[in-house]
Amino acid sequence: VVTKASFVIGGSYGEGALRVGEKTLEYYSSAQFNYGLQLGAQQYSHILFFMTDQALSKFYNSDGFKLGANAEAAILKESDFIGVDIININSDVVGIVFGQKGLIVGASLSGTKYTRL
């Protein structure tokens, strides 16, 4: 679960696991700092799907992986991915945001940095 709050300047933090198949390989934190037209507070969960071995390797072998800098990701909200075939999305990383509680205007996963714990 990621917690995010902002009033022009905002930030978020959460923790999760890198799972390949049914194995947990590592644990990671996700953090984001941003500014701009945004307001509110929210908790949400998200999953990143690495669509190629190269994208997974780049994430796993990095000292700090940043969406938007290290990889472009197609980000879908929970309501967007109902009936969507993510295999055919043309991106090396597909992120799905779900379980949102609260409201924030201007939320994005872009710029989120993932660091091994």
Summarised one tens digit per residue, pLDDT across range 74-115 is 565 655 555 555 555 678 888 888 888 888 776 566 678 999
pLDDT at residue 37, rounded to an integer: 75
Pick the closest to residue 50 from 24, 86, 15 (CA basis). 86
Interval 35-58 mean pLDDT: 88
State the Cα–Cα distance between residues 104 and 42, nearest whole angstrom: 6
pLDDT at residue 72, rounded to an integer: 54
- Whether the per-residue pLDDT at 71 is higher than 70: the answer is no
Q: Where does the pLDDT of residue 9 fall: very low under 50, low under 70, confident under 90, or very high at 90 and above? A: confident
Domain count along the chain: 1
Tell me the residue range of the domain where 90 lies.
2-116
